[in-house]
Amino acid sequence: MSVEEITKLLSELVEIPSISSDKTHREDVDSSAQYVENLFAGLGLNTQIIKVAGGKPAVVAQTQIDPSKKTVLLYAHHDVQPVGDISLWETQPFQPIVKDGRLFGRGSGDNKAGVVVHYFVVKQLLENLPVNIKVFIEGEEEIGSPTMNTFIEQNREALEADVIVIADSGNVKIGVPTITTSLRGLVDAIIEVDQPMRPIHSGVGGGIVPDAFMILSRIIASFHNDQGELQIEGLTPTDMNVIELEESYMKKMLGSDNIQLFKTESISKRLWLEPSLDVLAIDAPSVADAVNLVIPKASAKISLRLPPTEDPNHAMEMLEQHVIKNTPWNASVKFIPNSKGSGVVADPEKPFTKELVKNFNNLWSNETVFIGIGGSIPFANDFVKQFPNAELVLVGAADEELGNAHAPNESVQLDHISLLIESLIETIKNIK
């Protein structure tokens, strides 16, 4: 396994625009699944593409099963995020290019690097297989894995394992091997303002009735105080030990030394263990198309990240109550719940994880660190619920420092992929 082989395979995967949220890319998602199935079938694994009702295609593969051996499930996803504003990209999103040891392209780190990792791990181990290996590459992670719980229920035997390695996390810094011990949960919703009136000239109706943007902005402003602290009641942070991130590191990751961060006792805990809310989008007339009217309709999509141990059903209820409580002027506002998923806590003292840490420390130039992640991997929690005795291991080849997951100019460090492959191979060889 050379860097050239890794680069070639990752490039071919990135070239497939498998955007699961975009119906116009439905065939690309299908093509991506077919490509992945062909990869593992080419290694001699029993493979199939499975799609449950309403879901995207997932690839399930496995070696011949020996009941006397442990079983390791290798997870990644082949779908990717939309491109976003193409003008912000310095390269073409689906025309991968290598610069300074990094491969640039949408999905390079999140999460087609994970597919590459698992492929080469299996390929290297096949001649003298110490465990049973199952591979699961899903196709709807970037839309919240809405059918995943059903998928697992319908395919329990194909997915059941002693250890699940989720290669959809990443390294906190370039060159620093990282184990993720927690993921935040997520709920998101739409706030829809629909005043029972027609659009009317601001000189006729202005000052008599609040426009939709006035109402929406009041609600949005109510989510935080002047210190940036979330004001939704009833949400409880998770208490765990995590490494502390420096302000300079965060500014580097954000791409600006001039950005002003909220003041907080711990950046790490704010990012990984506490709830946070962001406004993802607002539907409104553009400035260029604006006319002199009192606008009756507007909507916003909001995303609430949850502490790893928070119940998403409870969180959605608290979010809705907050919106209702902070709706001004008895305005006509609808709260529309959208997706939701639980957080995850992984035990770093489990045997596979401890062996992996040992190999990380032997193969990488820096010592292993443990972090939380502010994002979510819906499948992880679904798996934990269905297989509570399995050991969960969260790793990845991406990095939070320059990786730009979900953002323009996404990239991945190629030597991270190589090192992760080697580390997992050595760990699996020594699994007890």
For 311, other C-beta atoms within 10 Å of its C-beta total 16
Return the domain boundaries, the chain: 3-183+344-429, 185-238+273-341
- 158: tokens are 């194909």
171 in Cβ contact with 369 (< 8 Å): no
The closest alpha carbon to 114, from 36, 21, 189, belongs to 36
- Distance (Å) of CA 169 to CA 77, 148, 292, 350, 400: 11, 18, 48, 18, 9
- So what's the pLDDT on residue 4? 95
- Give pLDDT, residue 207: 80
Structure tokens at 428: 């699996």
pLDDT at residue 299 in the model: 96
Helix, strand, or coil (residue 357): helix
CA angle (155, 158, 161) in 5-degree steps: 115
CATH architecture group of domain 3-183+344-429: 3-Layer(aba) Sandwich (3.40)
pTM greater than the 0.95 cutoff: no
Angstrom distance (rounded) from CA 336 to CA 353: 40
Instruction: Look at residue 155 in the predicted model and tell me its pLDDT.
Output: 94
Angle between helix 3-14 and helix 113-125 axes, rounded to 10 deg: 130
Mean pLDDT by runs of 10 across the 432 residues of the chain is: 94 98 96 98 97 95 94 97 95 97 97 98 94 97 89 94 95 93 92 88 77 95 94 91 82 83 88 94 87 88 94 96 96 93 90 97 95 82 86 94 92 97 96 77
Q: pLDDT value at position 376?
A: 77
Determine how many CB atoms are found less than 10 A away from the CB of residue 175.
14
Compute the C-alpha angle 269/320/222, nearest 5°.
Answer: 65
- Length of the chain as a residue count: 432
**1.10.3210.10, 3.40.50.300, 3.30.70.360, 3.20.20.70: which CATH number matches 185-238+273-341?**
3.30.70.360
Residue 35 to residue 16: CA distance in whole angstroms: 9
Compute CA 66 distance to the chain's CA centroid, rounded to the nearest angstrom: 33
Give exposure, 20-46, as e/b (b: 16+ Cβ within 10 Å).
Answer: beeeebeebbbbbbebbbebbeeeebe
How far the first Cα of the chain sits from its last, in Å, is: 26
Cα–Cα distance between 74 and 161 in angstroms, integer? 10
